[in-house]
Structure 1
Amino acid sequence: MIVFTGWDFGCLGNQATKLKQKNIYYRLQVDLEEERIKKQAASLTPWRKVALYSLRILLFVVALGLIGAAFFGIFKATDFSQKHMEQPGFLGLLIEFLPSIVITAGNFLVPLLCDQIALIEKYSPSVTVVMALLRAVVLRLVSLGILLFTLWSQITCSGNAEASACQQCRYDHEKYPCWETRVGQEMYKLMLFDLLVNIALLVLVEFPRRIVVDNWSCKLSQLVGRQEFVVPSNVLGLVYGQTVVWAGALFCPLLPLMNTIKFVILFYCKKITLFHNCRPALKTFRSTTSTFFFLVVLLFGWTLALVVMIYSLAVIKPSMACGPFRFFPSMWKIVPNSFYSLSKVTQDFLFFVGSQAFSIPLFALSCVIMCYFVALASIYGKSVEMLKAQLKLEGQDKQFLVKQIERIKQQHLMPALSAEVQD
Structure 2
Amino acid sequence: MTAAAQINPPTRLLMGPGPINADPRVTRAMSAALVGQYDPSMTEYMNETMGLYREVFQTRNEATMLVDGTSRAGIEAALVSLVVPGQKVLVPVFGRFGLLLQEIGERVGADVVTIHRPWGEVFTPEEIEDALKEHRPDVVAMVQGDTSTTMNQPLEGLGELCHRYGALLYTDVTASIGGNTLLVDEWGIDAATAGLQKCLAGPSGSSPITLSERAVEVIRSRKHVEAGIASEDEAERGERIASNYFDLGMILDYWGPQRLNHHTEATSMLYAARECARLLGEEGMAEAVERHRVNGAAMAAGLDGLGLQRFGDQAHRMNNVVAVYIPEGLDGDAVRNGLLQNFGIEIGTSFGPLHGKVWRVGTMGYNARPDAVLTTLSAIESQLRLAGQSVVAGGGVGAALEIYADAGLR
Q: Normalised by the size of structure 1, how large is the TM-score?
A: 0.21
Specify the structure having the higher radius of gyration (Cα).
Answer: 1
Q: Normalised by the size of structure 2, how large is the TM-score?
A: 0.21
Greater share of helix residues, 1 or 2?
A: 1
Greater share of strand residues, 1 or 2?
A: 2
